[in-house]
Amino acid sequence: MLSIPTFPEANHDILRSLAIYSDRELISLHQLHPEQGKFFTALFCRYGAIVHSVVQHAVESQLQADYLFAVSWRQIFQELQRVKISTEPEGTNWQNWLIDITGSTIHRVKIPQPAKIRYALTAAPPPLWCYLDRGLDRLSPLSRLIVVMTQNLKWNEQRISAYLQGEGQKIPATSIPEYLAEGYQQLEADLPQDIRHIYLDSLVFHTSPP
């Protein structure tokens, strides 16, 4: 039987202070303040167990469940900014919407075999992954490419340099660490301050998106 993970970030003071808010209030605050990540993270902590229990029925291994769980929350994150949640019976119900998005993600995503999954839930919890992913989209194309080749593909400086030269960009291998450091700095600067406090200040988590 697959296990439902725990979410230690739920005990962070920033998130505990949001316990008084309803789901609809958190959604509204998330939409009004996209520069803050705590409202989305609070929703994640409230409903993470429900989403994980849904995805478990579609897979056979814990690795696949955790991967699909993270992908589902990335889809939720992308669509949450524009959804309108209503308290009226004919309106959009938050929990139903959440389960519908999860279900559509399950049917849309091709789930890799466990041996091919590099994602680890403890290494990049979904809220952190979502904001890192958003930050990657805002990097320059070159910085993004070097970060992805280093983190995802595990390429060394020589291989990255050779690939870039094949694409017409003559960047020596000795310069790759400088571009990589610049990319990391931009990524960290783009993270909402509250996300940095929740996930990075304690050094409990490491930023390695799948």
Are 94 and 24 within one domain?
A: yes
Are 91 and 14 within one domain?
A: yes
CATH number assigned to the domain comprising residue 162: 1.10.10
Are 19 and 91 within one domain?
A: yes
| Site of tokens 């389960």 | 99
What three-state secondary structure class fits 168? coil
- Angle ∠(120,193,180) on CA atoms, nearest 5: 60
Average pLDDT over residues 50-61: 94
pLDDT at 210 over 60: no
Residue 207 pLDDT: 37
Q: Which of 118, 140, 174 is the last residue of a domain?
A: 118
> Is residue 206 situated within a structural domain?
no
Q: Which of 69, 86, 118 is the last residue of a domain?
A: 118
Are 139 and 80 within one domain?
A: no
Are 59 and 100 within one domain?
A: yes
pLDDT in tens, 158-178: 999 999 999 999 999 999 999
Average pLDDT over residues 4-30: 95
C-alpha 76/C-alpha 167 separation (Å) is 35
Question: Can you give the residue range of the structural domain that contains 178?
Answer: 127-200
> Is residue 85 situated within a structural domain?
yes
Are 24 and 53 within one domain?
A: yes
pLDDT in tens, 23-42: 999 999 999 999 999 999 99
C-alpha 205/C-alpha 202 separation (Å) is 8
pLDDT at 182 over 70: yes
Q: Which of 92, 118, 144 is the last residue of a domain?
A: 118
Average pLDDT over residues 95-124: 92
Are 81 and 109 within one domain?
A: yes
pLDDT in tens, 138-164: 998 999 999 999 988 889 999 999 999
Residue 203 pLDDT: 44
